[in-house]
């Protein structure tokens, strides 16, 4: 079936989808070269179909999503890519969508920022299959990223993302709240998370930080705008791409993100959960995106006996060890350690509401948090004393 890949109200490119697989099998006329998705390369007036397919497939629910297999069985779908056309590819993260050729559909009439959407897919992903077979698939849950169970809801006119935890401990929602509290103390732009118990299980809730006038462009798409030279690290390549695109303040934003991730021992800061914001109308860059998605941190996948703050801690996206990644921070002049005084007590209070985290684990987590702050303080002091970035763990 033929569609016009459209950016808000502006047709970008005519495409043909295979309805059986959801893949882009053909490209037609390119109407607006400047509005091709960031990172999709082109030659002359022709887009790279392979790159466009990677971008399109990347909009679908990842195969790693908890509960996805069961959800697809309920929906009688063979792959999450098949869900994309059911909601016209609409998202609450950007303004791209696909318009069936000749349909007369308008973005103003169907976008999820202005209009209600079905909660059928979200409920099914949460294991709450509706008692009917005729599902309404018009949902932003079809285009949500991440491996944890999550769904979009509307409350008091706001678009809210509800995200669960994993395993027996269900710690991720509490980590989201901790990260936003640390950002608040350090004046780091961030998405604010709150806690809610749903069916006796903890969930984090945050408001959509994208509006119908803006969009999030992930770092993963930004680094595709240029070919990375083999001698250039991904850290410098990302900054080079940002500079070329005109994204201001990228280095400072990375400084803050990597600092937060060191403190909270974030193991999953991948290229799809940070990036930059763009004006969807003018295509001008608004700067770095606020920090979000910090749940996979604070040893959430480790048993209590394995919480060792001074042990080697895995990290992403630039180095595989936090002790090495923190050395990439270009400046700590913005960092006020006094603002972190008592953060471990605040974390203890946050954790006290959990029915899944016992006192021994709370004590270990809060001790670990305090030690991570102390280790960072020692590192910053050493940098200031001798100009070397060396951390012993």
Kindly list the averaged pLDDT for each block of 10 residues, start to end, along the chain of length 393.
96 93 92 96 88 94 84 85 92 97 96 96 83 82 89 97 95 98 98 95 97 98 97 98 98 98 97 97 98 98 96 95 97 97 98 96 98 98 65 41
Pair 138, 63 in one domain: yes
Pair 78, 138 in one domain: yes
Pair 249, 344 in one domain: yes
- Alpha carbon dihedral 31, 34, 35, 38, in 10-degree steps, equals 140
Pair 159, 224 in one domain: no
* Full-model pTM: 0.94
**Residue 205 resides in a domain:** no
Residue 9 DSSP label: T
Contact 290, 190 (CB under 8 A): yes
CA distances to 88, 159, 331 from 110, in Å? 9, 15, 45
Distance CA 202, CA 19 (A): 38
CA distances to 43, 133, 149, 333, 388 from 303, in Å? 51, 41, 22, 36, 35
For residue 388, the model assigns a pLDDT of 46
Residue showing tokens 């909601």: 87
Contact 389, 383 (CB under 8 A): yes
Pair 138, 223 in one domain: no
Pair 8, 136 in one domain: yes
- Choose one of 163, 194, 229: the last residue of a domain: 163
Pair 218, 326 in one domain: yes
Distance CA 76, CA 130 (A): 14
Domain count, the chain: 2
**Residue 59 resides in a domain:** yes
Q: What is the span of the domain harbouring residue 33? A: 2-163
Pair 238, 120 in one domain: no
Q: Which two tokens stand for residue 255?
A: 């400084």
**Residue 191 resides in a domain:** no
- Choose one of 98, 129, 163: the last residue of a domain: 163
Q: Which of 275, 346, 352, 277 is nearest to 317 (CA)?
A: 275
Pair 159, 49 in one domain: yes
Pair 370, 226 in one domain: yes
Pair 149, 278 in one domain: no
**Residue 174 resides in a domain:** no
Distance CA 232, CA 306 (A): 35
Residue showing tokens 């004046």: 187
**Residue 197 resides in a domain:** no
For residue 385, the model assigns a pLDDT of 59
Distance CA 24, CA 35 (A): 18
Pair 230, 290 in one domain: yes
Q: Which of 343, 7, 25 is nearest to 179 (CA)?
A: 343
Q: What is the CATH number of the domain that holds 355?
A: 1.10.1070.20
Distance CA 106, CA 6 (A): 10
Distance CA 370, CA 359 (A): 17
**Residue 201 resides in a domain:** no
Q: Which residues, 6+ apart, have CB-to-CB distance to 172 below 8 Å?
A: 148, 163, 164, 165, 166, 204, 295, 296, 300
- Choose one of 148, 163, 178: the last residue of a domain: 163
**Residue 185 resides in a domain:** no
**Residue 378 resides in a domain:** yes
């Amino acid at each position: 079936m033929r569609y016009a890949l459209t950016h808000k109200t502006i047709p970008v490119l005519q495409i043909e989808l295979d309805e059986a697989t959801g893949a882009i099998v053909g490209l037609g006329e390119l109407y607006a070269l400047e509005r091709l998705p960031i990172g999709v390369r082109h030659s002359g007036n022709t887009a790279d179909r392979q790159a466009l397919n990677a971008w399109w497939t990347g909009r679908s629910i990842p195969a790693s999503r908890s509960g996805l297999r069961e959800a697809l069985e309920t929906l009688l779908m063979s792959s999450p890519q098949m869900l994309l056309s059911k909601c016209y590819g609409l998202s609450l993260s950007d303004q791209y969508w696909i318009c069936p050729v000749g349909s007369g559909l308008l973005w103003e009439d169907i976008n999820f920022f202005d209009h209600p959407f079905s909660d059928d897919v979200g409920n099914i992903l949460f294991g709450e299959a509706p008692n009917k077979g005729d599902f309404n698939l018009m949902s932003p849950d079809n285009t949500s990223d991440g491996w944890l169970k999550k769904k979009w809801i509307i409350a008091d006119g706001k678009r809210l993302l509800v995200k669960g935890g994993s395993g027996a401990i269900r710690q991720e929602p509490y980590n989201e709240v901790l990260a936003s509290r640390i950002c608040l103390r350090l004046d780091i732009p961030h998405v604010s998370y709150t806690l809610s118990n749903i069916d006796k299980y903890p969930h984090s809730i945050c408001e959509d930080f994208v509006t119908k006038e803006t969009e999030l462009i992930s770092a993963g798409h930004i680094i595709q705008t240029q070919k990375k030279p083999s001698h250039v690290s991904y850290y410098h390549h990302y900054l080079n791409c940002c500079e070329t695109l005109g994204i201001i303040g990228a280095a400072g934003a990375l400084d803050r993100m990597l600092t937060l991730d060191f403190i909270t021992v974030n193991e999953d800061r991948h290229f799809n959960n940070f990036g930059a914001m763009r004006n969807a109308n003018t295509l001008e860059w608004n700067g770095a995106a606020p920090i979000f998605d910090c749940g996979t941190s604070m040893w959430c996948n480790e048993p209590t006996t394995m919480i060792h703050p001074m042990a080697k801690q895995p990290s992403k996206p630039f180095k595989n060890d936090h002790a090495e990644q923190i050395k990439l921070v270009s400046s700590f002049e913005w960092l006020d350690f006094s603002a972190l005084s008592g953060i471990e007590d605040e974390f203890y209070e946050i954790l006290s509401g959990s029915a899944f985290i016992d006192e021994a684990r709370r004590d270990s987590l809060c001790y670990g948090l305090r030690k991570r702050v102390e280790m960072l303080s020692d590192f910053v002091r050493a940098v200031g004393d001798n100009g070397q970035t060396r951390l012993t763990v």
